Structure 1
Amino acid sequence: MAPDSQKWKEYRIRAHQQRKLWLAHHRSKGLKVAQSVADFLKREYGVTRVMLFGSMVLGNIREESDIDLAVWGLPQRQYFKAWAAVNDIRRDFPVDLIDINDASEILLEHIENGWEL
């Protein structure tokens, strides 16, 4: 292997390791944000249950990953207000807020494999 090829290989290995570390940190931060959003929704909107699902649970996050939350007990008339409040407060992670009553059967399967917050 030529010296330049070896340096390139070492660079790629280091870059891959740094990316893995960054994504692990990003996920850890996302999990904390998800918990704070769940607490906010329970306190401010009377939500009775919150489930985190999707890439944050599965661990296959990317830079652009959002936080997927399913909620129980959110009055329908409050949905858009709650969604806007959450996404206004937490601009570092977009939040996809799913009212459990509007979830499809396929989505319900993913939600059931999530984590309760």
Structure 2
Amino acid sequence: MLNEDENIKKNENFTILEITHGNRHMKEVYNQIIDFAKEFQVSRVVLFGSRARGDNREKSDIDIAVYGCNDFDSLKIKLDEELWSLLHIDVINMNSQYISEELIEEIKKDGIVLYEKV
């Protein structure tokens, strides 16, 4: 789990608390995503979209990009089963060959690393 003082985005001092604007519920959701990433031995999870940019609404979905997951389908099912009632989570498999260049650029531009295996 992330502590409030750990860096999220490289070269910047974002914390889970800052990207959730102090919303305890969202902090719990992000920490649950991180726990699942560890369980499925994911190499990296990046938050992108409106929640990463900070222009989200209360009911905006959560967009995450997943790198290095050998069992992506099971991870996606687990996220859907465990977190679906909270908010919709759009999970992108970055190891897929069908990712558009536009999406890759959006993730590079706005993405905030939630988890990275060391």
Q: Same fold (TM over 0.5)?
A: yes
- Whose helix proportion is higher, 1 or 2? 1
Tell me the equivalent position of 1:99: 93
Pairwise CA distance, 1:44: 1.4
- Out of 45-54 and 94-103, give the one that drifted further: 94-103
Instruction: Please give the residue correspondences for 1:1-80 in structure 2 after superposition, counting only pairs within 5 Å.
Output: 29-41=25-37, 43-75=38-70, 78-80=71-73
* 1:115 and 2:91 aligned: no
* Equivalent residue pairs, number: 91
Whether the 8 Å contact between 1:34 and 1:67 is mirrored in structure 2 is no
Instruction: Give distance in 2, aligned partners of 1:65 and 1:93.
Output: 8
Higher relative contact order (Cα pairs below 8 Å, separated by 6+ residues): 2
| CA RMSD across the alignment | 2.1
Q: What stretches of structure 2 of length at least 5 have no aligned partner?
A: 1-19
Write the distance in 2 (CA, Å) between the matches of 1:58 and 1:29.
Answer: 18
Give the whole-Å Cα distance in 2 for the aligned partners of 1:40 and 1:55. Answer: 22
| Structure 1 residue 24, shift from structure 2 partner | 5.3
Task: Flag the structure with larger Rg.
Answer: 1
TM-score normalised to structure 1 length: 0.66
State the 4+ residue runs in structure 1 displaced beyond 4 angstroms.
23-26
